[in-house]
Amino acid sequence: MMDVAKRNNVKITGQGKTAIIFGHGFGCDQLVWNEVIDQFKIDYKVITFDYVGSGQSDKTAYSQERYSDLYGYKQDLLDVCDSLEDDSFIFVGHSVSSMIGMLASIERPELFSKLVMIGPSPHYLNEPGYQGGFDKSDIIELLDMMEVNYKEWAKYLAPVVMSNEDRPELAENFEQLLCSNDPKIARQFAEVTFTSDMRSELSKLTVPTLIMQTQFDAIAPLEVGQYVHDHIANSRLVIMKAMGHNPHISDAAETATVIKEYLAG
């Protein structure tokens, strides 16, 4: 019998009955949610976890085959949900986790009452009629850099992701987080993330969805957030005051407030 709680380093806190589960993005782990989840522990049952290959997950459970696309990560999320006693979940996903949560809720819509997407992108590549934010050459260069010098890649990417130039400690801390990953696993997760195309799945989503976008995001630009909103029928788009791709790290209070206001509905 698979021990999902151990495999995915599942943590449960909070005093409420309604279950809210937080999924981290690429290069991260569940600790990025620490300041946000503190705001939910009185009213909710709070669940955090690490995708296999990330954080304190059981990395021996990682296989290139299973995690060669987002569906392997989707199965991680469904496994975590099925290992718990709850019938329904609110899912909060950051970045690629937004798409992972979408895939899970398309497969099992009865499992999720609401979705929250922070900085989502269904496709990162620029194509005719669609601006994902990256040219194909950008992605190839990024992936090559990870292979050649992983630490230099982390040093380059961290300030781009965080975007808060007046708070350099945010980029420094995020660089350390990126460097804590297994480079080979991170390289494959990056390729899966940045080459995926989930645009055709958006219209299949029936669960009420909040889309949270910052004023400036180098990874998932405003046009992408608008595209996601336009293609998910029951969705709301909120533009935050925060800057950068990781508002749950840089602006945890605003992030928690926006989510709470949506859930209060």
User: Any catalytic annotation for residue 245?
Assistant: yes
Is 217 catalytic? The answer is yes
Token readout for 243 is 């800057």
Catalytic residue among 29, 54, 94, 95: 95
Tokens in use for 146?
């990870």
3 state SS of 115: strand
Residue 33: C-alpha distances to residues 16, 94, 104, 186, 253 (Å):
18, 10, 20, 20, 11
Q: 193-207 burial, b if ≥16 CB within 10 A, otherwise e?
A: bbebebbebbebbeb
User: Which member of 94, 123, 229, 245 is catalytic?
Assistant: 245
E-assigned strand segments in the chain: 11-13, 18-23, 44-48, 89-94, 112-118, 209-213, 235-239
State both tokens at 18. Answer: 């309604």
Which residue among 29, 50, 76, 217 is the active-site one? 217
Contact in structure between 40 and 20 (CB atoms under 8 Å): yes
Q: Which residues are bridge partners to 112 per DSSP?
A: 89
Tell me which residues are annotated as active site: 95, 217, 245
